[in-house]
Amino acid sequence: MKSVIRGAIGAAALAVAVTGGTAAQAADDVIKVGVLHSLSGTMAISETTLKDTVLMMVDELNKNGGLLGKRVEAVVVDPASDWPLFAEKARELLEGEEVAAVFGCWTSVSRKSVLPVFEELNGLLFYPVQYEGEESSRNVFYTGAAPNQQAIPAVEYLMSEDGGGAERFVLLGTDYVYPRTTNKILRAFLNDKGISDDDIMENYTPFGHSDWQTIVSDVKGFASQGKKTAVVSTINGDANVPFYKELGNQGIKAEEIPVVAFSVGEEELAGLDTGPLVGHLAAWNYFMSVESDVNDGFIEQWHAFIGNEDRVTNDPMEATYIGFKMWAQAVKQAGSTDVDAVRQAMYGQTVPNLTGGTAVMNANHHLSKPVLIGEIQDDGMIETVWSTDKEVVGDAWSDFIPESAKLTADWTYPWVCGNCEAPKYVTAN
């Protein structure tokens, strides 16, 4: 399924149509961007809002004169939570629609699916969700959190006195690359901190998993052995709804077994009875409850665009917002939508983040971001209980994986020229 969301046709474009301007001339007055998010299937609960966020940003850009004197058009496709279909839809956007950039994907398996297409066709993907790291591509800008901007700080918090002093950990995840790789990093980190494998329980379930009774019971049993236990959740999509319901059914309270989630934000909580979940945690780089003028403005803009003051905002929306703003700034700086020129202009771009600080795009295609730990409230909001003092630079390669610790990613080379120096990048493969 595909739809093209078009901004208002300005007087100049209308004049071209009235005077018999050709389709080619009209196309010259448009810059297309692709929106590659699941609008159906298990991930629609999370991804649909990101589609709407891009449409809001396109609308704002067009209201302010467009880009390079042209209006911007969002081409929306639905890969339907079908990972191979993501690659097909990505090719359609890049080859068929000739979009200047694509904003999309949520799961790492969808990103892995499209990556060869973007590298083959030299497209630009802005990926707005936390991920497992262990990847760096000149064709992807990672505007979500790397493990050192979410997973590692969250576990450090759980081990701290303020976080309850956890000594045993349950790693629960959906069965795909992001949870498995993140938990590989976390296990190495925990081992480095003196936590033995006997004190780590690990379990994976399919997308859309709904029967959590046995697993939650196993968690209770694991936590009953005399050491403070915490759960680290990389469960994704609509499986979170029955998971959190079962926590409540079995009376698991945050003060006894805290759960910290990396893929649950205000959007997912909106469909839950959050009463039994009060005090459980989420680790992100933004919460809707953050107090800042720029966040107030973003929320007001979102409610006006979506026409519903009950709609929440969340972290991947902020990452989408930052990525889109940076892309537009880079296009203006380059004076072109040419991928190589825009890529070069992206390095060093800054955008005010929604927490009151500044997002910076680094040469490794990762942002500098603050890290926030928040507690779930009974109204479905998440209140910050801990944060870093300043923004943290995202690390593509984990320091806790021996083969990755020695790798760096610096995509400032090759520059846009004929024969250039090779990129300072080493692949782990």
- Does 12 score more than 70 pLDDT? no
CA distances (Å), 41 to each of 276, 281, 418, 420, in order? 27, 26, 45, 44
* Residue that wins the pLDDT comparison between 168 and 408: 168
Q: How confident is the model at residue 411 (pLDDT cuts 50, 70, 90)?
A: confident
Report pLDDT for 39: 98
Query: What domains are defined for the chain?
Result: 2-144+292-369+405-425 (3.40.50.2300), 148-290+371-398 (3.40.50.2300)
Report pLDDT for 241: 86
Computed from CA positions of residues 63, 365, 357, 284, in that sequence, does the dihedral angle turn out positive or negative?
A: positive
- List, in sequence order, every beta strand (DSSP E) within 367-410: 367-369, 372-376, 382-387, 392-393, 409-410
Distance, CA of 198 to chain centre = 32
Query: What phi, psi does 425 have (nearest 5°)?
Result: -145, 135
Compute the average pLDDT of residues 140-159: 97
**Paired tokens of 156:** 């450090």
| 314-326 pLDDT per residue, tens | 999 999 999 999 9
What is the number of alpha carbons within 13 Å of residue 219 lying toward its C-beta?
Answer: 28
Q: How confident is the model at residue 142 (pLDDT cuts 50, 70, 90)?
A: very high
Report pLDDT for 276: 78
Report pLDDT for 6: 40
Instruction: Give the pairing of strands 2-5 and 101-104.
Output: unpaired
Report pLDDT for 128: 98
The proportion of the chain whose per-residue pLDDT surpasses 90, expressed as a percent, equals 80
Compute the average pLDDT of residues 30-53: 96
Q: Largest Cα–Cα distance in the chain? A: 81
Range name among 82-86, 371-375, 388-392, 402-406 with the lowest pLDDT average? 402-406
Compute the average pLDDT of residues 102-108: 96
Q: How confident is the model at residue 407 (pLDDT cuts 50, 70, 90)?
A: confident
- Does 263 score more than 80 pLDDT? yes
Instruction: Give the pairing of strands 409-410 and 424-425.
Output: antiparallel
User: Closest by alpha carbon to 403, among 144, 140, 181?
Assistant: 181
Compute the average pLDDT of residues 173-180: 94
Give kind and range of the element (H or E) at residue 104.
Answer: strand 101-104
Peptide bond into 414 cis (omega under 30): yes
Report pLDDT for 26: 54
User: Could you tell me if 61 and 67 are in contact, meaning their C-beta atoms sit under 8 angstroms apart?
Assistant: yes
| 298-350 pLDDT per residue, tens | 999 999 999 999 999 999 999 999 999 999 999 999 999 999 999 999 999 99
User: Closest by alpha carbon to 126, among 112, 140, 138?
Assistant: 140
- Does 427 score more than 50 pLDDT? no
The Cα–Cα gap between 60 and 403 comes to 44
